[in-house]
Amino acid sequence: MKNKKTVYMSFATDIINSGHLNIIEKASELGDIIAGIQTDEVIAQNNRFPLVDIEERIRIFSSIKNISKVVVQDTLSYKKILNELKPDYVVHGDDWVNNELSFIREEVIKILSEYGGKLVEFPYTYNNTLTQLNHKLKIQSGLPEVRRPKLKRLLKSKDIVSIIEAHSGLSGLIAENTVVRVDEKLKSFDGMWVSSLCDSTMKGKPDIELVDFTSRISTIDEIMDVTTKPIILDGDTGGLIEHFVYNIKTIERIGVSAVIIEDKKGLKKNSLFGTDVSQQQDSIENFSAKISAGKRVLISDDFMLIARIESLILEIGLEDALKRANAYVNAGADGIMIHSRKKEPDQVFEFAKEFKKEFPDIPLAVVPTTYCQVTEKELADHGINIVIYANHLIRSAYPAMLNSAKSILSNGSAVEASKKYCVSIKDILGILPNR
């Protein structure tokens, strides 16, 4: 006879292990199981990334014996779905009693109590096999073929993709692991920007394409070794076309998701100098030829070549920027980055409005360094798809290091610096991943 009670279980995973199956089996004794499949966007909030897309996950869960129905859960909060389905039970592993999801648990208990539902928690099984499996999955998630497509998938599933710069393994760990709670959501960065400015600054060198490609690759490798999120490389001007067609293949092969090249030529200087220094923009023809040449040698569909337009930086104007955007997209660019060093985002918004009229589906990236007061919501509302916080980890690390150095010198002792500017040795040891 059919059991009339219903049980809701929410899933953020695509690799079903024996721990899940045990819980599903036990839950099926309570009633018919409705599985809520979390969307990519919800899973990304909790700093994870499914290996297969949501359609595939729906198929996988639909085919499990004890699951009678599958629905999509598109918020981290269960509020909407519980009020809609009113299940008799919610079943979850007891791991969320103390982890970052404990506030979601509290909310579930409250909603269930409003209509007489019940939360049932089964012990979360940690054993060697599962720990090893999780470890393997983590490593797999950072492999080139798995990491590379993540950016395109995020662009499909999120209003705006949020990227923070990383210039070392350590800053990569911060980009990878930092999660904060904002209201009913968890927030983490979607990926990393390997900035030419920060990579050069880290080495004590100016941002003039002096740090060579081999060295840039070595920074990426260091970051990749300890992270799994997608990487966007700041490819400077891309260099000579004859070199670019080799370098872009290397970047694609190692699992970078996108390279952004800027339409400057000659001795490139940092864009935030603007017209204070002499910088030359490339011709539309040359730069379009570089884009087309780069696209021709790529072999995967998931790698993106994004063209960066410097017309606003060089004060040549919106019309030129739009003309270039048109040419670069026609030359094969998978996305456009529009850069500005104005204190307000107005000209970037103007560009976005016009650009999106013509190319609604081409991703648009921005770097709000000088107009940093702008919010992600405002950017998304103006059709911008990628926001890059291009230099904030190195800019915040520098004053902390300088203060420590000054304090040790001034006091002839490290005790003040230790207390005021340093994390404990225990904490610094704790952030490093277990191998």
Q: Which of 13, 196, 201, 257 binds Mg ion (CB under 5 A)?
A: 196
| Residue 129 amino acid letter | T
How far from the centroid of its chain's Cα atoms is residue 172's Cα?
A: 11
Contact call for residue 279 and Mg ion (CB under 5 A) = no
Of 45-53, 189-197, 347-355, 402-410, the window that binds Mg ion (rule: CB under 5 A) is 189-197
What is the pattern of x (binds Mg ion, CB under 5 A) and - over residues 221-240? -------------x------
Closest CB to ligand SPV among 32 and 207?
Answer: 207
- We find the least distance from the C-beta atom of residue 200 to ligand SPV, in angstroms, to be 8
Residue 280, H or E segment: strand 280-281
Of 114-122, 166-174, 192-200, 292-300, the window that binds ligand SPV (rule: CB under 6 A) is 192-200
With contacts defined by CB under 5 A, how many residues of the chain interact with Mg ion?
2
- We find the least distance from the C-beta atom of residue 58 to ligand SPV, in angstroms, to be 39
**Which partner in Mg ion, ligand SPV, none is near 367 (CB below 5 to 8 A by kind)?**
ligand SPV
Q: Which of 85, 245, 272, 374 binds ligand SPV (CB under 6 A)?
A: 272
Of 88-96, 193-201, 297-305, 396-404, the window that binds ligand SPV (rule: CB under 6 A) is 193-201
Residue 257 burial by CB count (10 A; 0-12/13-18/19+): exposed, middle or buried?
A: buried
The full DSSP string for 386-411 is: EEEE-SHHHHHHHHHHHHHHHHHHHH
Residues 201-230 that bind ligand SPV (CB under 6 A): 207
Contact call for residue 237 and ligand SPV (CB under 6 A) = no
Contact call for residue 271 and ligand SPV (CB under 6 A) = yes
> Is residue 272 classed as helix, strand or coil in its secondary structure?
helix
The Cα–Cα gap between 257 and 302 comes to 7
Contact call for residue 209 and Mg ion (CB under 5 A) = no
The Cα–Cα gap between 403 and 229 comes to 31
Contact call for residue 390 and ligand SPV (CB under 6 A) = yes
Residues 112-115: contacts with CB under 8 Å, at least 24 apart: 112/82, 115/86
Cα–Cα–Cα angle for 339, 306, 55, rounded to 5 degrees: 120
Closest CB to ligand SPV among 153 and 264?
Answer: 264
**Which partner in ligand SPV, Mg ion, none is near 391 (CB below 5 to 8 A by kind)?**
ligand SPV
- We find the least distance from the C-beta atom of residue 201 to Mg ion, in angstroms, to be 11
Count of CA atoms in the C-beta half-sphere (13 A) of 227:
32
Residues 340-379 that bind ligand SPV (CB under 6 A): 367, 369
Token code pair at residue 180: 């904060």
Contact 381, 160 (CB under 8 A): no
Token code pair at residue 26: 């036990």
Q: Which of 6, 196, 237, 311 binds ligand SPV (CB under 6 A)?
A: 196
Closest among 135, 130, 138 to 18, alpha carbons compared: 130
**Which partner in Mg ion, ligand SPV, none is near 13 (CB below 5 to 8 A by kind)?**
none
With contacts defined by CB under 6 A, how many residues of the chain interact with ligand SPV?
12
Q: Angle, to 10 degrees, between the axis of helix 241-254 and the axis of helix 284-297?
A: 40
- We find the least distance from the C-beta atom of residue 100 to Mg ion, in angstroms, to be 34
Strand-pair category, 280-281 with 264-265:
antiparallel
Sign of CA dihedral 252, 256, 258, 259: negative
Of 150-158, 195-203, 251-259, 400-408, the window that binds Mg ion (rule: CB under 5 A) is 195-203
Residues catalogued as catalytic: 207
Token code pair at residue 306: 């994004």
Residues interacting with ligand SPV, by CB under 6 A?
A: 195-197, 207, 234, 270-272, 367, 369, 390-391
Residues interacting with Mg ion, by CB under 5 A?
A: 196, 234
